[in-house]
Structure 1
Amino acid sequence: MKILILSHRVPFPQNGGYAIVVANTIKGLVNEGHEVSLVALNAKRNSHDSSLPDEDLMGKINYRAYDIDTTVTMVGVAVNLFSKTSFNVDRYFDPGFETLLTRELRNNEYDIIQFEGLFMSLYMPAVRKHSNAKLVYRAHNIENQIWWRLSQQKIDPFKKSYLRMHARRIKNYEQQQLNKFDAITVFTRQDKNTLTDYGIEVPIEIMPVGLRLEKYKPDSRKTEFPSLFFLGSLDWLPNREGVEWFLESFLNDITSGDLPVKLYVAGNDIPERFDDYEALGKIFIQGEVDNALEFVNSKSIMIVPLLSSGGMRVKIVEGMAMQKCIISTSLGAEGINFTNGHDILIANTRDEFYDAIQRCIRDEEFCIRLGKNARLLAEKEHDINVVIKNLVAFYQACCK
């Protein structure tokens, strides 16, 4: 098949969940013998000097990237107050990119065009006008749910009202747009049920996160036990909110010794104010790490304190593949076919997190057993080779 992937960020290097999913999909499709093109926005805040595909992909895909500035300004936010749409969506529209995309569609015919997330749906009218391909939407999250859940965590009435306003606007946009696609894929049954409740009538298929499991080679000889860690981009509001809650909740316990364990926080775009949480020999705010998998391997207990989220968290699936003992909220582990206490520990309150951490740091054998079970679950349900075969079958059904 001839497949075009439209992405709102360049998925190279693979330094975040979105990039990992998109890049693994492209590599999987190429390995199955399909002809793949990628047309991506290269947002200023996500741009990297090494924003090129892996060398082994360079000669196998057609690749276009377009620079765009998605920076949020106070003026832009103020103007958007009087709009019917959300600035979080609108800032991804660029007439120059639409022109580039139109040129691509005039010069090439595709069987499938896959839109990676809501922001790329802004270009659907142009795609429909210039292509007869089947249009598939991949819901990385139900976007309005994230904003609504963020609003639920706010005490300030203005912030709560503001976030709810954007949640409503994004929900209206999602409901208007998604029925215009030919098909939709989601990562979780929860997301499928939500879209069905919204009145979405096009075919919806569940396709879990897929990893190239041969890349994930845990080595317990290099693992510090006990140690807690978080890894994720803190420019994503749910991550920032969750980590800040965790640090505020457990700062004294970790620094005073009630929880005799070190905490490491790593990822992209960590705000400077997080440096205030550092405590000598106890809490380490590391920022971006050179090798994410080496970092994950070097620590023993992954925390995922998400309070507002949606979709499937790629970092949890990666942690499973690396045989990590994982403590997550129910929202953080949403969509993963876990058994609490067998392959993941679920904690939704401060007390539950405290008890789970105490159990893990006191019982290394329990942590090891949980991690091994997590790896088995990853092998069973998140092998990219299986996911891609199912995705291609779905594409073929759409084209009949």
Structure 2
Amino acid sequence: MRILILSHRVPFPQNGGYAIVVANTIKGLVNSGHTVSLIALNAKRHNYESHLPDDDLMGKITYWAHDIDTTVTVLDVAVNLFKKTSFNVDRFYDKEFEQLLANDLQAHQYDVIQLEGLFVSMYVDTVRKYSKAKLVYRAHNIENQIWWRLSLQKVDPFKKSYLRMHGRRIKNYEQQQLNLVDAISVFTPQDKATLLEYGIKVPIDILPIGLRLEKYMPDQSLTEFPSLFFLGSLDWLPNREGMEWFLDTFINDITTGDLPVKLYVAGNDIPDRFDDYEALGKVFIQGEVDDALEFVNSKSIMIVPLVSGGGMRVKIIEGMAMQKCIISTSLGAEGIHFTNGHDIIIANNREEFYTAMQKCIRDEHYCMELGRNARRLTEKEHDINVVTQNQVKFFEECCSR
């Protein structure tokens, strides 16, 4: 098949969940013998030219990106209060990109065009106008749920109302746009159930996150035990609010209390205020790391304190592939076929997190057994070769309708 992947960000380097999923999808499809093109929006802060795909992928795909400024000013936010749409979606519209996309669609015939998330769905009309390809939407998240769940964490009535307003606007937009495509893929049964509740009429299939498992080779001899760690982009609100809750809740237990362990926080775009959490010899705010898998391998206990968001968390799947002991909220582990206490430990409040951390810190054998079980689960359900086979079958069914 001739497949176009339309993305709202350049998926290179693979330094975040979205980039990992999109890049692995492309590699899986190319390795399966399909012709793949990638067209991406590129926020100007990302120098994608210095982070081209690894291996020889560049010679196997057609690829171009268009710079776009997605910065939102205070004035933009104020003006948006009087509109019916959300600035979070509107900022990804670019007239010049729309014309370039139209030119590409007229020059090339595709069998399937996959929209990677809501922020490129505003180009559906352009795709329909200039292409006869089947249009597939992949829901990386149910976007409005992020805003709604964030609102539940707010006490300030203005902030709560503001977040709910954007949640309603994005929900209306999702319901409208998703019924315009030919098929939808989601990562979790929960997301499929939600879209069905929204009245989405097009076929929906569940395709889990796939990893190239040969890249994930843990070396226990290089792992510090005990140690806690978090890895994720803190420009994503659910990650930031989850870590703020965790740090505010457990900073004293880690620095002066009954948790004899070091905590490492790494990821992209960590706000400066997180530096205030640093504690000499106890809490390390490291920012972006050069090699994410090397960082994960060097630590033993992964924490995922998500209280908002949706979809399947790529970093958890990566942690499982690296045989990490993982403590996560139910929301963080959503969609993963885990057994609590066997593959992952579920903790949804202070008491449960504290108990789980104490047990893991004191019992290295238990942590290692949990990690081995987690790896076996990824081999069974998250091998990119298996996921790609199912994705191709999904595309073929879509084309046959």
Per the TM superposition, whether the score is higher than 0.5 is yes
How do 1:6-85 and structure 2 match up within 5 A? Answer: 6-85=6-85
Whether the 8 Å contact between 1:45 and 1:70 is mirrored in structure 2 is no
Q: Which runs of 4+ in 1 moved over 3 A?
A: 45-49
Q: Which residue of 2 aligns with 1:275?
A: 275
1:163-204: CA deviations, max 9, x gaps?
A: 000000000000011011000000000000000000001000
Q: Distance in 1 between matches of 2:5 and 2:376?
A: 31
Q: Distance in 1 between matches of 2:112 and 2:318?
A: 28
Q: Which residue of 2 aligns with 1:198?
A: 198
Query: What's the offset of the Cα at 1:159?
Result: 0.4
Query: What's the offset of the Cα at 1:53?
Result: 2.2
Q: What amino acid maps onto 2:213 in structure 1?
A: L
Deviates more, 1:252-261 or 1:183-192: 252-261
Q: Which residue of 2 aligns with 1:180?
A: 180
| Helix, strand or coil at the partner of 2:332 | coil
Query: What's the offset of the Cα at 1:353?
Result: 0.3
1:116 aligns with 2:116: yes
How do 1:1-400 and structure 2 match up within 5 A? Answer: 1-400=1-400
Query: What's the offset of the Cα at 1:46?
Result: 3.7
Structure 2 vs 1, CA of residues 122 and 51 (structure 1 numbering), >3 Å: closer, same or farther?
farther
Q: Distance in 2 between matches of 1:56 and 1:154?
A: 47
| Helix, strand or coil at the partner of 1:225 | coil
Query: What's the offset of the Cα at 1:48?
Result: 4.2
1:126-185: CA deviations, max 9, x gaps?
A: 000000000000000000000000000000101000000000000000001101100000
Q: Distance in 2 between matches of 1:398 and 1:330?
A: 33
Deviates more, 1:15-24 or 1:253-262: 253-262
Whether the 8 Å contact between 1:265 and 1:287 is mirrored in structure 2 is yes
Query: What's the offset of the Cα at 1:58?
Result: 0.8
Q: Distance in 2 between matches of 1:339 and 1:317?
A: 14
1:2-60: CA deviations, max 9, x gaps?
A: 00000000000000000000000000000000000000001124444524222411100
| Helix, strand or coil at the partner of 2:225 | strand
Structure 2 vs 1, CA of residues 148 and 44 (structure 1 numbering), >3 Å: closer, same or farther?
same
Whether the 8 Å contact between 1:44 and 1:71 is mirrored in structure 2 is no
| Helix, strand or coil at the partner of 2:175 | helix
Deviates more, 1:335-344 or 1:38-47: 38-47
| Helix, strand or coil at the partner of 1:135 | strand
Q: Distance in 2 between matches of 1:47 and 1:189?
A: 36
Q: Distance in 2 between matches of 1:278 and 1:11?
A: 31
Q: What amino acid maps onto 1:227 in structure 2?
A: S
Q: What amino acid maps onto 1:122 in structure 2?
A: M
Whether the 8 Å contact between 1:181 and 1:202 is mirrored in structure 2 is yes
Deviates more, 1:54-63 or 1:116-125: 54-63
| Helix, strand or coil at the partner of 1:84 | coil
Query: What's the offset of the Cα at 1:72?
Result: 1.6
Q: Distance in 2 between matches of 1:366 and 1:45?
A: 43
Deviates more, 1:276-285 or 1:38-47: 38-47
Report percent identity of matched pairs: 78
Q: What amino acid maps onto 1:223 in structure 2?
A: T
In structure 1, the gaps of 5 or more residues are none
| Helix, strand or coil at the partner of 1:160 | helix
Q: Distance in 1 between matches of 2:216 and 2:19?
A: 17
Q: Distance in 1 between matches of 2:371 and 2:257?
A: 25
Q: Distance in 1 between matches of 2:209 and 2:43?
A: 24
Whether the 8 Å contact between 1:45 and 1:71 is mirrored in structure 2 is no
Q: Distance in 2 between matches of 1:2 and 1:281?
A: 53
> What is the RMSD computed on CA atoms of the aligned residues?
0.7
